[in-house]
Amino acid sequence: MYRLIYKSRCTEKLDREMVRGILHESMEQNRESGLTGALIATDTHFLQILEGSFRELNETFFRIFKDGRHTDIQLISFAPGASRLFEGWAMRGLGVFDLNRELENELKSKYGEEDGSVCFPLEEWAALSIVNDVHMMSRRSCPDEG
């Protein structure tokens, strides 16, 4: 099992509908490929963590790299992992813009700011940490959806 983490800039301003479309498309492709993972989006950036076989992750990353919705793609990590962190999540979407301002400001305070929103880190440990933080914060702001 391998884990791939990347950060990219969206070529247009993101909104919930665009992220929902990307998630739906990703879930179908990931189920077929045996991949799991999480996608976090701000108004301008993506941070995605994918898990699965080396071959499937490599093919998926090349597909993402060619996707016109992404620019400034930065590979953060592509390495073996001991076990899946996102078992059962063909693709979980976590939108920072779904959080209230107080929670968004907590993330900005911890990770910094980029283009007026939360800055996604370029270190593997920090990328995993922000996914956990956003997941926990989204559960705090919407406890019935946890």
What is the CATH number for 48?
Answer: 3.30.70.100
pLDDT tens digits along 42-69: 888 899 999 999 999 999 999 988 988 8
Residue 97 has a pLDDT of: 63
What's the alpha-carbon Rg for the chain, to the nearest Å?
14
Residue 16 has a pLDDT of: 78
Give burial (CB, 10 Å; 0-12/13-18/19+) of 144. Answer: exposed
Q: How far is CA 82 from CA 17, 31, 60, in A?
A: 34, 20, 20
**Gap between the Cα atoms of 76 and 65, Å rounded:** 14
Q: What is the pTM of this model?
A: 0.86
Give the 3-state secondary structure of residue 103. Answer: helix
Residue 99 has a pLDDT of: 57
Q: How many domains does the chain have?
A: 1
Domain that residue 105 falls in: 2-145
Q: Which residues of the chain have pLDDT under 50?
A: 143-146
